[in-house]
Amino acid sequence: ITVTVTPQVIREMKPGERSFFTVSVTASPNVPRGRYALTFSISAREIGFRAAQPTNVETLQRYLRDNNFSARVLAAESLARMGDRNAIRYLVRTAMRGDRDARSRSIRALGSAGCKKQTGVLKSLLYERDGWIVGNAIMALGMLRAEKAVIQQCLHVRDRFVQTCALAALAMHGEKAPLPYLRRLLNDRDNFVRAAAAWGLAVVKDKAGIETLDKLLSINNVMLRVFIGDALVYLARSRR
């Protein structure tokens, strides 16, 4: 019996990246039929934290053309923060169409990068039927500290995630009234609701909010982890 695994080695995986293995089993004609136990093991080495290295526009533009989406959106966010029009167009294009993960990452990147001129794009996303997209657009508006009145209207949408994002975005605007509601939502049954509530509380350095973000990172859900990762990056940048 011959067992082959392809590929045998993956040199590096970025946060949020997925990969697949193909397992092939062949047997010669003289091998008797029956059930055979096969044991597989995968070993990986976690690189861990690396010291931040200075980069340049040329490097970021190269990553904007990378095959990996995570690399592209991170590069686009950094370039957009510098006012790069191509990067902003890429984020807008991806925010408007694509799968839910790609759209939500690009939407949040527009907020994190301070793209205030794209407020109209973000407002248009509030009419989507998908609460995940609407909620992320609200968070982006909160990061931009824009359209406070529009965000307040979203409190009436019958979607717990959307409502929680609206409360969190108002906290980003400096409102204190949402904080008691956000604290109660830390115990919600929906982990995305908990994450949005924790983000809003962490903005005001609430200990329970920060601890909840830390706990939720241990849950094996890529979209949840990336959402929390964006929260942590936003919090770090806002405290500089």
Quote the Cα angle for 180-185-186, to 5°: 100
Ranges of residues in the chain with a pLDDT under 50 are: none
User: Does residue 161 form part of some domain?
Assistant: yes
Cα 17 to chain centroid distance, Å, stands at 12
Residue 33 pLDDT: 83
User: Does residue 171 form part of some domain?
Assistant: yes
User: Does residue 29 form part of some domain?
Assistant: no
User: Does residue 82 form part of some domain?
Assistant: yes
d(CA 172, CA 3): 55
Q: Domain range for residue 192?
A: 57-238
63's tokens: 């990553």
Q: 123: domain CATH number?
A: 1.25.10
User: Does residue 234 form part of some domain?
Assistant: yes
Residue 98 pLDDT: 83
User: Does residue 12 form part of some domain?
Assistant: no
Residue 72 pLDDT: 93
User: Does residue 31 form part of some domain?
Assistant: no
138's tokens: 């609200």
Q: Which helix (H) or strand (E) covers residue 100, if one does?
A: helix 100-112
Q: How confident is the model over 177-199, as pLDDT tens digits?
A: 999 999 999 999 999 999 999 99
pTM of the model: 0.78
User: Does residue 93 form part of some domain?
Assistant: yes
Interacting residues of 62 by C-beta distance below 8 A, sequence separation 6+: 75
3-state secondary structure of 10: coil
For the chain, what's the residue count?
A: 240
Residue 4 pLDDT: 86
**Structural domains of the chain, count:** 1
